Amino acid sequence: MNDRVRATDTLPRIVATGQTGAGKSTLGNTLLGVDGVLDTSGRINCTDRVHRVLFPRGLEYADLPGVASDEAFENYNRMALGLPQVDTWPRAQRLTVVTHRPGGRRQATTAATDLRPDLVLYLIAPHRAFGYSDVAYLSDLIACHGVDRILFVLNLFDGAGGVRVATDQNIADVTGEVAKVCLDSGHELRPERLVRISCRTGAGLPRLIEAIAELVGPRHRKPLADLLTYQRKEAPARWSAQLGEALGTFLASVGAESPSSLEKGREVLAGYRDDVVAAFAAESPWTPDHRWPDGLAAAWDTLAGTVLDDLRKEHRDPVVEMRTVVVSTEQVPIWGSRKETDYSDPKIEREKVYEYRMVEGPPDDVIEGVIGWFEHGRYTQKRRKKVHVGYRDKIVGYHKRRVDYITGYETVKKTKKVPQVVDERVVVTWEPYGPQVAALLLAVCLVVFEDLAEKPGGANRLRRRFAQARKALGDSYDPASLLADPEVARLMAPAMGLA
């Protein structure tokens, strides 16, 4: 290949673009039906290389470096599509085009011009933010190629248990951003230009191929019709294996859980049901926000109620309280006290003893002195005087003492605490969801995928499918071998695309 990548062939050239990790390489491998042709690690998105795959059924698919991720390589993407390069980033001068041919042959060439695509697949991972860089790139893409040559592909990634990562709000937000960019560019985003698929499992791939066939025009519809036939023949086995693995993981995680109440159990089961609907929405006409018809909703409520009733187990536990009981009785005296006079303990006081005696002393007057002189020979006067001569003890009373005495008797009871059953209470326990919920979700898989909810008898079919799946699972529940069971595989065959 010289300076012109586009040769004068009749093969429709489809170019995949979008953010790094949006699923461009995975989609190419899924279209081809063989893993590993294109590296899905994201490394090829960060180079100057364009990977071009020639399919055996007449299709050319080009995988471009990613955008809105690495400024050093986005200009190579822009060069491949003929978009104006960003001046502030390193400019791309030449492209390296690696062509993958049937049988694993590869050939690398260089080019200095764009790929001139018949159709651009703009892959978007809805669970990621659609930022300013994405808006600027999409605006340039629409300005260069127009909306009529762009097909927007929402790649719905699966998380743990096969549950879709992107929420309904994520999808609505991304769709709104894309529609706004289209309107700002003077175009309207029509619903048929937005396709939901799973690039990993291939769910929704037939719709994508049909949408491509409608957009590339009559000249290329025959090769795409052949590719669609090829995919319907070759892809189901690959898809069913991945779907079976995802379902097994999902049902294993569900089966190990237990409801906490009837209301919570109904809420959780409804959430799992919506997850199943979301998982099949890309392949079935159903969508996660589809309102269930009244008959089918009633059948679901009845079956969910039956399952939860079976998981609910009751038993009666005694209500025990500590009660006081009398062990023995005893007569115990009641003591009183009073004060009595203790005659053996007198109160003694010591008092002074006095005597009256005649004592001499100075006379009171001269006459008494003269009289004393004549009587005693001394000029004195004798007088009678009270004189202290000693001490003596005197009993002035008696002390009191306290005396205890029995005033009566009282009966004393000896008691102890003993446990006694006073009532019974109902204790509710819940068994794990196990095989019953697995059977119910398997039935939902079948009914939703076959779109029987839109046909008369959808509710009866849900009941019948549940009974069949419940019988196939039995009372044992081994998530690892669940889908390996022949009876379960037979029931799941329509949902896996094998019937």
Q: What is the CATH number of the domain that holds 138?
A: 3.40.50.300
Q: Are residues 199 and 275 in the same domain?
A: no
Q: 199 and 260: one domain?
A: no
Residues 186 and 273 grouped into a single domain: no
Considering the domain architecture, whether residues 362 and 278 belong to the same structural domain is answered as no
- pLDDT score at 497: 41
Regarding whether 164 and 149 lie in a shared domain, the answer is: yes
Bridge partners (DSSP) of residue 361 are: 381
31-49, pLDDT tens digit by residue? 765 544 465 554 444 566 8
Q: Are residues 406 and 455 in the same domain?
A: no
Same domain, 140 and 21: yes
Report pLDDT digits (tens) over 451-470. Answer: 544 555 667 878 888 887 77
Domain count within the chain? 3
Are residue 106 and residue 142 in the same domain, yes or no?
A: yes
Instruction: Identify whether 4 is part of a domain.
Output: no
User: Partners of 428 in the beta sheet?
Assistant: 314
Per-residue pLDDT, 38: 60
In a domain, 215, yes or no: yes
| φ, ψ of residue 133 in degrees (nearest 5) | -60, -40
In a domain, 246, yes or no: no
Q: Is residue 201 domain-resident?
A: yes
Domain interval for residue 421:
320-426
- Give the pLDDT band of residue 292 (cuts 50, 70, 90): low
Q: How far apart are CA 183 and CA 142, in angstroms?
A: 11
pLDDT at 224 (0 to 100): 64
Amino acid identity, position 298: A
Mean pLDDT calculated for residue range 157-169: 74
Contact 45, 22 (CB under 8 A): no
Please report whether residue 134 resides in a domain.
Answer: yes
Q: Which amino acid is at 427?
A: V
Residues 76 and 216 in one domain: yes
Distance of CA 400 to the CA centre of its chain: 86
Residue 244 half-sphere exposure toward CB, CA atoms < 13 A: 22
Q: Give the end of a domain, one of 240, 260, 282.
A: 240
Within a domain: 7? no
In a domain, 1, yes or no: no
pLDDT at res. 65: 87
Tell me how far the alpha carbon of residue 482 is from its chain's centroid: 26
383 and 280 both lie in a single domain: no
Residue 92: both structure tokens together? 């791309």
17 vs 482 pLDDT, higher one: 17
Lowest mean pLDDT among 30-44, 51-65, 114-128, 388-402: 30-44
Nearest Cα residue to 113 out of 138, 99, 93, 98: 93
Helices 458-473 and 294-311 sit at what angle, rounded to 10 degrees? Answer: 30
- List Cβ<8 Å contacts ≥24 apart for 465-472: 465/491, 466/303, 466/439, 466/440, 468/443, 469/438, 469/439, 469/440, 469/442, 469/443, 470/435, 470/436, 470/439, 472/439
Cα–Cα distance measured from residue 41 to residue 51, given in angstroms and rounded to the nearest whole number: 14
Q: Which of 12-26, 36-50, 154-168 has the highest mean pLDDT?
A: 12-26
**Would you state the pLDDT for residue 281?**
46
Separation of CA 105 from chain center: 48
| Phi (first) and psi of residue 282, to 5 degrees | -70, -25
Last residue of one domain, picked from the residues 208, 240, 272: 240
Same domain, 130 and 216: yes
Q: Is residue 8 part of a domain?
A: no
Provide the pLDDT confidence category of residue 139 given band limits of 50, 70 and 90.
Answer: very high
Are 88 and 161 part of one and the same domain? yes
Indicate the residue among 176, 210, 240 that finishes a domain.
240
Instruction: Please write the tens of the pLDDT for every residue from 79-112.
Output: 989 899 988 888 888 888 888 776 656 667 776 6
Q: Give the pLDDT band of residue 431 (cuts 50, 70, 90).
A: confident
